[in-house]
Amino acid sequence: MEIIEGKMPFMGYETYYRIVGKRSKKPPLVLLHGGPGSSHNYFEVLDELAQKDGRRIIMYDQLGCGESSIPDDHPELYTKETWVKELVALREHLALRKMHLLGQSWGGMLAIIYMCDYHPKGIQSLILSSTLSSASLWSKELHRMIKYLPIEEQAAIHRAELTSNFNDPDYLKANEHFMNQHAIDMTKTWPECVMRKKRGGTVAYETAWGPNEYTPEGNLHDYEYTNKLGKIKVPTLITSGTDDLCTPYVAKTMQDEIAGSKWRLFEGCGHMSFVEQTDEYVALLQKWLDQYDE
């Protein structure tokens, strides 16, 4: 399978990108990773889609993580405006006039911001994977799910949020348990790209989101797009898992507001259904993308 790696100049830095598959008449699929700061790594499980569907898959590391520049001495760069500007620059650099767009977790937030505030042309369809339209609803739902943890783990998370001590061993243990339940169970063995150690990303995450997942305190704390979702007019597919950080309530909230959108709920999956049920996810994407290529 043909894989092209490159770097694009961006704001005095460099953005790494990875293109899988051969050029074809089909519009490529561009992938926006989570975090902020998670890097493209886990998206490599979708490489087989390029082979099966005969279209290019394009992924990249957003500024602040992975193989892209990591200007952690300038945390003021880590804003939604910078990351949208980077996506726009990538489209220009790779001449992506027509494309499908998939955003997972924070990447889905970035896609929603891009669609609602910038009204881009040439987006054939949108896939919102385990994402959110409201930071406050996300926080509320995660705190609801914390109540299902053992009482001592609930207390450890509550204590850390009160004291801002997120290095406490009891908190770290409770947080790991929660994330294994609702993000992805890292006690299991996954493909190499999922297990691969990430470069950087911590400063980007803490600057934009905050010191923990449950309570957004960074510059995205006021991310509230539920009432803007009606601006999205392209075909939209929402995907999530039954055990996801993106709870069915969060996913349904987005589906209710995006006219004509479809929602696929993956049973038994957490925050990365494309990793946990790759074959089913690839089949779903292939059918969806082929439907909206024109």
**Among 182, 240, 244, 261, the one annotated catalytic:** 244
List all residues 6 or more positions away from 165 whose beta carbon is below 8 Å from its beta carbon: 159, 171
**Among 38, 39, 68, 105, the one annotated catalytic:** 105
Q: Is 105 among the residues known to form the active site?
A: yes
154 torsion bin: left (phi>0), alpha (psi -120 to 50), beta (else) = alpha
Q: Is 271 among the residues known to form the active site?
A: yes
Of 140, 142, 143, 104, the closest CA to residue 237 belongs to: 104
**Among 33, 100, 182, 271, the one annotated catalytic:** 271
Question: What tokens appear for 285 in the block?
Answer: 């994407």
Helices 80-93 & 106-118 angle (0-180, nearest 10): 80
Distances (CA, A) of 74 to 70, 202, 224, 250, 278: 9, 13, 26, 33, 37
92 torsion bin: left (phi>0), alpha (psi -120 to 50), beta (else) = alpha
- The upper half-sphere exposure of residue 256, i.e. CA atoms within 13 Å in the direction of its Cβ, equals 11
Q: Identity (one letter) of the amino acid at 293?
A: D
- The upper half-sphere exposure of residue 257, i.e. CA atoms within 13 Å in the direction of its Cβ, equals 19
User: Are the C-beta atoms of 97 and 25 separated by less than 8 Å?
Assistant: no
Catalytic residues: 105, 244, 271
